[in-house]
Amino acid sequence: MPHSYEHDVLIIGSGAAGLTVALNLPHHLKVAVISKGKITSGATLWAQGGIAAVLDNEDSVENHIRDTLSSGAGLCHEDAVRFTVEHGRESIEWLIDSGVNFTRDENAQLHLTREGGHSHRRIIHAADATGHAVSSTLSQQAAARENIQLMESRVAVDLITNRKLLLPGNRCVGAYVLNLDDNHVELFRARFVVIATGGASKAYRYTSNPDGASGDGIAMAWRAGCRTANMEFNQFHPTCLYHPHAKSFLITEAVRGEGGYLRLPDGSRFMDRFDARAELAPRDIVARAIDHEMKRLGADHLYLDISHKPADFIRKHFPTIYEKCLEFGIDITSDPIPVVPAAHYTCGGIMTDKRARTDVNQLYAVGEAAFTGLHGANRMASNSLLECLVYGRAAAADIARRAADIPAPPNAPEWDESQVRDSDEDVVISHNWDELRHFMWDYVGIVRTTKRLQRAKHRIDLLSREIGEFYSNYRVSNDLLELRNLVTIADLIICSAMQRNESRGLHYTLDYPGLMHEVKDTVLVPTSFRTKSP
């Protein structure tokens, strides 16, 4: 029989954002953190570069704000940027106090590096495996807390709201969750629910993200009545390792920050033809430049070369990349690294305020799943983990303030599987998954056109109907749930892109190469939740 649980706080996702919320909540609150796989299996684990924060006396909060606004191409919310940057130092100090072992120089001072878009060295890191250091440390801290229950091999199916229970009020009271160990759907009731499920880059054929990045939280929040914003801005990391046996391994921006050159197959550099900052230009410019040169030359990939630096320097600063490339016969101390752009980061998401609150009461969103206004039209390197920390701590503080006033969640029915059967056509799921990711890459990728978007919209409408029918008739599985969510995500991306008749930041269309005079976010409202006109 499936289980039923009740907690004060249910956190869906176990990356830096989710664990930051959990560890900053009061010890008297009963907390559940659920994860699709292992607690450390999310995107945080794979973050290489580091965390941006003003930690150097030669740097300033105003410099960091100015750099972020510049990278965001006019769409950053300055109040959100200032809020994030001003809380950067205290967030880093909290991580250090939690036991994260950041890289230090020969004088035992924190070593700071520089990445694209930053005017100063302000990236604190743990060699080239910062995400691993943060994820492993926070998960160990959470495991030691008696009030935190870590629950693996669970994927959320849908949020439970008062509206779904036919009760008054606009409140989230829990979620239905599929236990992947026994394939039963469990009931989780909670006074507060936090979405920390990460991004949606698995909507694309090539991605640097782990398999779980299927936009589950964004899709569930959309179905529950939350608005989304700026979903057209999906960041493509310029340099993912290109090798037939390498899967989703990115080459950190810090390689370019420490002097790496991008080269064509003939060995010549090219970035200076696209931007005066050359290899240190923001990611959208670098990704489009690589995409342009690949298409111009008919090349499958280009190269990132840091072999002109001393071998000891390379091995010290990039040990993870050095070892991984060696596995594929590439010695980065002497050879250039074959690279290709890949979908990397979802800049849009569920609309939240500075307390991480969404449109649904008692429902919060933090990390890559959320739209805070920080990133604008293009995320600046290493601002993402900072956002996880700052808004994770803000969400925890808000929940702590409100905890005494929010009543226990109402009763909710168990998941009903009586009207569905096991699927005998799993090939439908795999085929639709492949089709979705291919046409998103071809039609809604780094460079777009109106005709390509219209073709993608036509295909997604057909897929939506097909997957909706499949979901209604067959027992749920992880693959089906992820596909259902990715179809929703793809539709949100396409609809957002069709509304932006300009080229700004990460959204580049050949039909509208210039900028519109009016600078505004692309806000989508769920149809069934729109306020009717009088």
Q: Give the list of residues 6+ apart from residue 352 with CB closer than 8 angstroms, or none.
A: 358, 364, 365, 366, 370, 371, 372, 391
Instruction: Decide: helix, strand or coil at residue 312.
Output: helix
Q: Which among 518, 398, 420 is positioned nearest to 184, based on CA atoms?
A: 420
Alpha-carbon distance of 443 to 449, in angstroms, equals 8
Task: Answer whether 186's CB lies under 8 Å from 5's CB.
Answer: yes
DSSP letter (8 states) at residue 380: P
Which amino acid type is present at position 293?
E
The answer to whether residue 283 is catalytic is yes
Alpha-carbon distance of 370 to 217, in angstroms, equals 9
If you search the block for the tokens 């005709």, which residue do you land on?
Answer: 451
User: Which helix (H) or strand (E) covers residue 451, if one does?
Assistant: helix 450-473
* Token output for 327: 């596995």
Active-site pick, 154, 189, 227, 283: 283
Alpha-carbon distance of 82 to 66, in angstroms, equals 10
Signed CA dihedral, 452, 458, 459, 463: sign only: positive
Query: φ, ψ for residue 288 (rounded to 5)?
Result: -65, -35
Q: Which among 154, 141, 135, 145 is positioned nearest to 11, based on CA atoms?
A: 154
If you search the block for the tokens 């959470």, which residue do you land on?
Answer: 142
By CB atoms closer than 10 A (0-12, 13-18, 19+), residue 512 is middle
Signed CA dihedral, 429, 434, 437, 438: sign only: negative
Instruction: Decide: helix, strand or coil at residue 248.
Output: coil
User: Which helix (H) or strand (E) covers residue 160, if one does?
Assistant: strand 154-161
Alpha-carbon distance of 517 to 520, in angstroms, equals 10
Alpha-carbon distance of 168 to 165, in angstroms, equals 9
Signed CA dihedral, 199, 328, 307, 303: sign only: negative
Q: Kindly report the CA angle at 214 between 137 and 171, in degrees rounded to 5?
A: 85
DSSP 484-508: HHHHHHHHHHHHHHHH--S-BTTB-
Catalytic residues: 283
